[in-house]
Structures are given as C-alpha cells and as structure tokens.
Structure 1
Amino acid sequence: MMKRGRQWLVLWFLLMLVFIVILLSVNMGYSKIPYGYVIESLLNSQGVDSSTVLLQIRLPRIILAFLCGMGLALSGCILQAVTGNQLADPGILGINAGAGFMVMLFLTLFPSLHISTMVYQPIFAMIGGLLVAWILYVFSNRNGKVRPSYFLLGGIGVSAGFTAIMTIMASDMDNSSYQLVARWLSGNIWGTSWYQVKALIPYLSVLIPILFTKVNVLDLLLLSEEASLALGVKVERERRILLIVSVALAASCVSVTGGISFIGLVGPHIARRYIGARHRMLIPASMLIGGLLLLMADTIGRSLFQPIEIPVGIVISVLAAPYFLYLLRKQIGGEI
C-alpha cells in the first residue's frame, strides 16, 4: 500500500512539474510575453497583440514537443520489455533511421503531397520503421527465439546503413530540399503549427490505448519465456504485436519532429528508478518524463543562445548521450 501511494505521489509530482515547465516555456524565446497577456490571450484571442505568437507559434510547438516526448518514451518502454534489453530505444535500434529514410524518400518523390497534407508522412515513416523492425526480428530470431543482444547489435548496424543511404541521397538534392531534410534529420520542432499536432493526434489516440491494454502481458514478458508460456502467454505472438505497435508509435512521432533519439531510453530508466518495474504505473510515468524531457530540451534549444536556435534533437543528444554511456558501462560491468 505504501509503495502504491509513493507511486501516485511521483505521478502527481511529474504532472505538477509538466505544468510548471509549460508555463516557463510559454514565456521563453525571442519574444517575451507577460503572463497577464498569456491569460488574456487564452481567454480572448482576438483582443491581444501577442495572441498570434502564443496561440499560433508557441503553444502548438509546446504541445507537439510534449506529445512526441510521451510517444517516444512509451515506445522505448515497450521495446525494452519486448527485447529484454534495457538499452533498447527507437533511435538506437535504427527505427528512427528507417522512418527517416522513408520520409526522405517521400519528400524527394512526392514534394507536392508534403505541401498539401501531412497525412502521408507518418504513413511513410511507419513503413520505414516497420521495415527495420522486420529486419531486426529476422536477424535476431534464432531457433524460434529472439536474442536481445542480436536485436541491439543489428539495430546499430541497420541504423548506420540507412544513415549512409540518406547521406548519399542528400548529396544529390537541390539546396532548398537539402535544408528541409537536414533540419528534419537533426530533430527539429521549429515551424510547428496546429497542422502537425492535428496530424499526430489520430495516431496517438489509436496506438497508445492499445499498449495500455497490454500492461499485464508486458509484466509477464519480464519473466522467463518458460514461465510466461506456463501462464498462458503466447510469447512470440504478443512480442510481434507489441513490436509493431511500438514501432508505429515511434515512427508517427518521428515523422513530425525528425530524428530524436535517447528519449525512449532515458525516460523509462528514470521512471523505473522511482516507480518500479510494473507497467501499470511505469507506462504513465515514462510518458510524463519523456514529454517533460523533450519539452525542456526544446525550451533550452530556442532560449539559451538567442537568436540562434539549436535543434531539439541535438540538445537531447548532448544531454542524454553521457547517461547512455553510463548505462552501457553498467550493463557490460554487470555481465562481466
């Protein structure tokens, strides 16, 4: 009972922290907006000069950063359970690279579709992410069992391969297309509008509830495969379902924000330290921490070196890469 109470306390603390960071983020950037004007803009969008900056530029950017952080952290949490490797992350496993390759192909072959609608971009990203997942599943499957170490190593190789292909493709682009692709690959929420938010929400609304219905299965997957089978879990079938849904979730987020890594790694690890391993509480905590991390990183990127804006993917990499090295060293040390 005390443990459950502490878990709820952590969740409420995270919610309060999210609210505080959103308030700070609203007033950080090139244009400062007093909080009195913020409230007035929300109540009366037609009567305040700053309402355009707040409602059409800053607010959709804040919401998109938080939603994508939630989605990427949830995807990483599921991938860690499915692969049995706590270093799993959509970026490290090459899912982001596969999604990026297909989005780059889409931007190159169908530029008019990108301009007219963003409905197709997440679909192309999902195709690329699922292609990588299929390659990794086949590569890591040995005698009907998925080997987690093969999954991680294969992901690193696949990521390097798709990144090399994208570099080759980019070298033949005109300057305007290359700038668009370069910003996307670095992970950038600059220029966000309600259009991107509306394009992402349908995918999150379908995929996130599916994963919440699998919390008991995820807990059982933490046991040995023999124990899971004895308890009636169809392990390989559930792994495939969870893998497909988590990859689709990561790809849909990456399609609108670009190549953002490490959120899916760091978010679940921090949540696991304070919440525990049970997914009923771990999943919402991971989502809140992931949304908080991406929102903070975007706020830092657009505020720290004004008027220069640093892409959020670079900020996240700088902040989270040392933590990844720490986790890698800890895992290798434990195996030795």
Structure 2
Amino acid sequence: MKNKRRRKLVPWLLLAALMAAVLLSLNSGYAAIPYSQVVLSLLHPEDAEASVVLLQIRLPRILLSILCGVGLALSGCILQAVTENPLADPGILGINAGAGFAVMLFLTLFPSLHVSSVFYQPMFAMAGGLLVTAVLYIFSKRNGKLRPPYLLLGGIGMSAGFSALMLIMASDMENSSYQLVARWLAGNIWGTGWHQVKALLPYLLILIPLLLTKSKILDLLLLGEDTSLGLGVRVERERRILLISAVALASSCISVSGGIGFVGLVAPHMARKFVGGRHHLLMPVTMLMGGLLLLLSDTMGRSMFQPIEIPVGIVISVLAAPYFLYLLRRQT
C-alpha cells in the first residue's frame, strides 16, 4: 500500500521539479535577469523590459526542450517494449541517423523550400525515420514473424551507414553550411522560436494520445508472443502500429532538435526505478523524466561555459553515456 502511494506521488514530484527547472532556465544564460523581473515579464509582457529575451528567446527554447524530451523519452519507452530489449532507443536503432540524413537531403537539394522549412522539415525527418524502420522490419522478419533482437543489430548497422553518408554529404558543403549542419547533427536547441514549437505540437498532440492508449497492449507484449496471442492480441499488427507511431514521434522531435541521443534510453530506465514496469504509469513518468532531463541539459549547456554554448546533444551524451555503460554491464 505504501509503495502504491509512493508511485502515485512520483508524477507530481517530477512535475514540481520540471516547473522549478523552468524557472531556473528562464534566469540562466548570458544575460541574468532577476526573478522579480521574470515574474513581471510573464504577467505583463507589454511593460517589462526583459520581455523580448524571456518570451521570444528563452521561453520557446524551454518549451521546445521539454516537448522534445517528452517525445524522445516516450518513443524510447515504446521501442524498448516492442523490441524486447532494454537498450533500445531511437538513436541506437538508427532512427536519429535516418531522420538526420533526410533533413540533410532537404537542406541540400531543396533550397527553394527553406522559407517553409518549419513545415517540410518534420515531414522529411519522418520519412527518413520510417524508411529506416521499414528496412529494419524487413530485415528482422524470420519465417513470417518479427524477431525483435534483430531490430537492435540491424539498427546499429543502419545508424553507422547513414552517419557515414551524412559525413560524405557534409564534406562537400560550404564552411558556413557545414557549421550549421554539424551543430544540428550534434543536437542543438539554439535559435529556436515559437514557429518551431507550433510546427512540432500537432505531431505530439496526435501521436502521444495514440501511444498512451496502448499501455495495456504493451504490458501484454512483455509477456511474450505466445501468451499475447493466447490473450487475443494481434501481435504483428500491434507491433507495426507501435513501431510506426514511436518512430514518427521521435523523427518529428529530431527534425527541430537535431540528433539528440540517450534520452529515449535513460528516461524509461529511470522511470522504471520509481514506478515499476506497468505502462499506464510508466509512460507518463517517462515523459516527465525526459522533459526534465533535456531541459536541465540544455540549461547546463548554455550557462556553465559562457560565453561558449555547448549543444544539448553533447551535454546529454556526456551525462548519459556512463549510465548506458552501466546498463550494458548489467545485461551481460
């Protein structure tokens, strides 16, 4: 009974921590703004002198960090269940690389569409991520059935291949374009605005509710294919729906944030330590954990080494890589 109450308390504690992180991030950066001025700017944006910095630069960046963290973490949680591998996440499965390659093609081959890049970029990223998933799905089919362990092995190979193609394409770019692409590939939420938040929101509003309705299916899939079939689950159909939805969710986030890794790996594992493996509670806690991790990492990247700004993808990799090695050690 005590454990049950504690698990129900975890989402509220994470939500409070997330709100505290938002306040911390609002006041972090090159220009320090007193909290009294922050509150005044939020309540009366037309009167406060700091409104432009807070409402047009920092607040959209904070919201985008949270939204991308939520989407990547939930995608990782779904992929770990579908692949039956606790080390799966969008980066390791090659989805990040596939989506990044598609965005790079867009930036290189369709310069006339750059004016509407906020609209087209998520679509190209989604196409690249889904292409990787389709190849992996075909590669992982054995005797008419999906073999989840092959998804991870194939994903590692796809990630390496697309990463090499991106490097080849980048080598032929002008220096200024290469610098922009390199920062994007490293995972960067710099220079974001409200238009990018608006571009990402529709995908999240469609895909997140869809995935949350699949919590019972995910619990049954973890029991094994034979047991799931015996309980009436159409395993192949549900796996396809979950895979496509998770990949589309991760790709839409990657299109505006760049190649951020490890969030989809670390956040679900941290959430399981607090609330266990039942997905009806695991998925919301994972989303909050992902949003909190990415926001704190972005805040650290832009405030700890001023005036130099470290891309959030590098910060989260430095923080999460040791944890990944720890998880890998436990699996062997």
Q: Deviations over 1:218-255 (max 9, x none)?
A: 11001011110000000010000000000000000000
Matches within 5 A, 1:255-270: 255-270=255-270
SS of alignment partner, residue 96 of structure 2? helix
Contact kept, 8 Å, 1:25 with 1:299, in 2: the verdict is yes
SS of 1:119's equivalent in the other structure is helix
Q: Point out the more displaced range, 163-172 or 137-146.
A: 137-146
Per the alignment, residue 140 of structure 2 pairs with 140
Identity of aligned residues (%): 70
Counterpart residue number, 2:59: 59
SS at match of 1:318: helix
Q: Deviations over 1:85-129 (max 9, x none)?
A: 010000011000000000000011112322334111000000000
| TM-score normalised according to structure 2 size | 0.98
Matching residue's letter, 2:115: I
Structure 1 residue 143 displacement after superposition: 1.4
1:128-184 superposed Cα distances (whole Å, 9 cap, x missing partner): 000111111111111123223211111111000000000000111122221221111
The one-letter code sitting in structure 2 at the alignment partner of 1:70 is V
Corresponding residue for 1:244?
244
Query: In the alignment, what sits opposite 1:23?
Result: 23
1:300 is matched with: 300
What do the CA deviations read for 1:49-71 (whole angstroms, capped 9, x no partner)?
11100000000000000010000
Q: Which residue of 2 aligns with 1:274?
A: 274
- Provide runs of 4+ in structure 1 moved above 6 Å: none
Between the aligned partners of 1:327 and 1:61, the Cα distance in structure 2 is 31
1:104 aligns with 2:104: yes
1:126, 1:120 → 2: CA distance? 10
Q: Which residue of 2 aligns with 1:119?
A: 119
Q: Distance in 1 between matches of 2:315 and 2:135?
A: 30
Equivalent residue for 2:156?
Answer: 156
Hey, what does 2:192 align to over in structure 1? 192
Shift of 1:280: 0.3
**Partner Cα separation in structure 1 for residue 43 and residue 21 of structure 2:** 21
In the alignment, residue 44 of structure 2 is paired with which amino acid? N
Bigger shift: 141-150 or 197-206?
A: 141-150
CA distance in 2, matches of 1:229, 1:152: 23
Q: Which deviates more from structure 2 when the two are superposed, residues 1-10 or residues 312-321?
A: 1-10
Query: C-alpha separation between the residues in 2 aligned to 1:326 and 1:154?
Result: 23
Would the alpha carbon gap of residues 145 and 3 (structure 1) be closer, same or farther in structure 2, given more than 3 Å must change?
farther
Aligned partner of 2:165 in structure 1 is 165
User: Deviations for 1:255-284, whole angstroms, at most 9, x for unmatched residues?
Assistant: 000000000000000001110110000000
Which residue of structure 2 lines up, in the alignment, with residue 94 of structure 1? 94
Contact 1:101 1:162 in 2 (8 A): yes
Please tell me whether residue 223 in structure 1 is matched to residue 227 in structure 2: no
| Secondary structure of 1:324 counterpart | helix
Structure 1 residue 253 and structure 2 residue 248: aligned?
A: no
Q: Deviations over 1:13-42 (max 9, x none)?
A: 101110111111111110011111111111
Aligned residues: 332
Amino acid at match of 1:36: S
RMSD: 0.9
Aligned to 2:287: 287
Give the gaps of 5 or more residues in structure 2: none
Give, in whole Å, the separation in 2 of the partners of 1:75 and 1:190. 23
Distance 2:245 2:111 in 1: 28
Cα distance in 2, alignment partners of residues 5 and 144 from structure 1: 44
Pairwise CA distance, 1:213: 1.0
| C-alpha deviation, 1:46, in angstroms | 1.6
Q: Find the aligned partners of 1:48 and 1:112 in 2 and give their Cα distance.
A: 38
The 1-side partners of 2:2 and 2:48 are apart by 48
Is the partner of 2:118 in helix, strand or coil? Answer: coil
Q: TM-score, normalised by structure 1?
A: 0.97
Distance 1:112 1:251 in 2: 22
Whether contact under 8 Å (1:83, 1:146) holds in the other structure is no
